[in-house]
Amino acid sequence: MSESNLLLGQWEELKTLVESLEGDVVKNAIKGNKSAGVRARKGLRLLKKQATELVKATLNQDKADTE
């Protein structure tokens, strides 16, 4: 699998994660569901981690392309 396909795969995972978090964020914000808030915060931490990994991968690809 090429590097660009890996990056696109990581991007799709991020989009899916955001979509899956939406329900918990709404439940917490509107209905005050504390358990949904816990799930949302856990998911947001995972989102941050995966976004960081995607940034590093894109930087590595850019660096490799210039060499």
3-state secondary structure labels for all residues of 2-67: CHHHHHHHHHHHHHHHHHHHHHHHHHHHHHCCHHHHHHHHHHHHHHHHHHHHHHHHHHHHHHHHHC
What is the pTM assigned to this prediction? 0.84
Q: Write the single-letter amino acid at 18.
A: V
Give the model confidence (pLDDT) of 21-62 as tens digits. 999 999 999 999 999 999 999 999 999 999 999 999 999 998
- Among residues 4, 9, 38, 8, which one has the least CA distance to residue 21? 38
